[in-house]
Structure 1
């Protein structure tokens, strides 16, 4: 049975939606889904699996999965922002931050100060030290304006980095769910092994590793690989999908977004330049 999955996904998600919302959800369910197919390979060999996938796509379950991933990501943002001390875009505009050199920061602040309507003057380093929350409010307002301006094909780098940040944020939001379902999948697989090999637990207690491994061999490479994938997924969830991992993507997005100041300035200068040349 042919499944028009690519077309359906393209209709439900744009580029950002696929990378930032759908992919985290699919990565979360992939290890346990792989285990299900390893234990029940007939699902792949029959039309049932294709039918279920078609029904899932048609009923919007993939869209629901992407929406759930976005919800989990948005829910953890307040705690991330609190741990970081603000949005990455705000942080790197601060005079006391070191992600940008002082000349680049001043160029961005000068442009935003002249381009954003009704924006209070940006604070100096001394004013920022005296009233950091007030300074952040000015930076935040400028960033809101810049996000709206940095849309369209001229800002592809901004869109890519935004999608990367959304991907990592949403995956971090799904972390507890991912660990739980991978753990449950491993536990279910272990129970199935013990059930089909009543003496397996005794072999482990006696540290008879050779016999224990020999009892696992008949399970086949698919089941063993699926268990290994779920175990590896738990390790990745714990040690890779961290707050620092999301922060790094946030800084990359913030840097790309602020660099849009130069692109916007150039676009505003080009009409004047053409007029002068004429």
Structure 2
């Protein structure tokens, strides 16, 4: 049975990616009054949703390191650094003390270590975050953290599917225009169904180009990271 994370972070991005195919299916269904075309299109969509869900997850995971390198490191690691001001210095000091005690590493002066050996300091912070993730898997107890993780997974996987989504849109536009051309012999004499379908595809194109960006992922990535490190006192 599919769980909440898989549904929202993996299936939803795939469905959104496949909307152009659904729109084209509706266009032909309305145009030719053939409900079987729509049913067949939705059956194909179900299969493609599963495949794209897997591809989006894999591509999203592979893209994480590239995103984190561009941002200056994993969000949770950045938040734990003394050079980062996302948390107050008093809260950060408390988190460091608790995590060093519970993991047995990082008892040295981390502020000094960050200056002398930033790679080692980041490795310690990554270990702390790994520990926190393993202790916060109870989605009922850590509901807010779980929801932030879903938001991050959804946006990351949606961004990973940006290229195929735009390709689907352009192919959909081409199919509709060719259908109209060969049906009406006049390229710009579009039917109402074509106008509606092309308008919807245009809206989707604007969405993918102007909304689905790295900065859109970054916002929720740091929100999740902050919620994760703030859970130190409840584990």
Q: TM > 0.5 between the two? A: yes
Gaps in structure 2 of 5+ consecutive residues? none
Aligned to 2:19: 30
Q: In the alignment, which of 78, 84, 95 is matched to residue 97 of structure 1?
A: 84
With structure 1 as the length reference, what TM-score do the two structures score? 0.76
Confirm or deny: 8 A CA contact 2:180 2:194 kept in the other structure: no
Q: In the alignment, which of 34, 42, 46 is matched to residue 35 of structure 2?
A: 46
Q: In the alignment, which of 184, 196, 202 is matched to residue 225 of structure 1?
A: 196
Alignment partner of 1:133 is 2:122: no
| Counterpart Cα distance in 2 of 1:61 and 1:27 | 12
Q: In the alignment, which of 96, 105, 119 is matched to residue 119 of structure 1?
A: 105
With structure 2 as the length reference, what TM-score do the two structures score? 0.89
Aligned to 1:251: 222
Alignment partner of 1:86 is 2:86: no
1:188 Cα offset (Å): 2.2
| Counterpart Cα distance in 2 of 1:122 and 1:33 | 57
1:56 Cα offset (Å): 7.0
Distance 1:61 1:233, change over 3 A: closer
Distance 1:128 1:35, change over 3 A: same
Alignment partner of 1:15 is 2:4: yes
Distance 1:44 1:75, change over 3 A: farther
Confirm or deny: 8 A CA contact 2:17 2:165 kept in the other structure: yes
Aligned to 2:154: 167
Distance 1:144 1:192, change over 3 A: same
Q: How many residues align?
A: 234
| Counterpart Cα distance in 2 of 1:198 and 1:107 | 73
1:147 Cα offset (Å): 0.2
Gaps in structure 1 of 5+ consecutive residues? 1-10, 201-211, 265-278
Distance 1:43 1:167, change over 3 A: farther
| Counterpart Cα distance in 2 of 1:234 and 1:173 | 15
1:130 Cα offset (Å): 2.3
Aligned to 2:180: 193
Q: In the alignment, which of 218, 221, 235 is matched to residue 206 of structure 2?
A: 235
Which digits, 9 at most, give the CA deviation of each residue in 1:231-255, with x for residues without a partner?
1212211111111111111001101
1:185 Cα offset (Å): 1.2
Distance 1:55 1:190, change over 3 A: closer
Which digits, 9 at most, give the CA deviation of each residue in 1:164-209, with x for residues without a partner?
1000100111011111111121122223333334444xxxxxxxxx
Aligned to 1:276: none
Quick check: 102-111 or 17-26, which moved more?
102-111
| Counterpart Cα distance in 1 of 2:20 and 2:48 | 18
1:92 aligned counterpart, secondary structure: helix
Q: If you compute each CA radius of gyration, which structure gives the higher value, 1 or 2?
A: 1
1:40 aligned counterpart, secondary structure: helix
Distance 1:163 1:224, change over 3 A: same
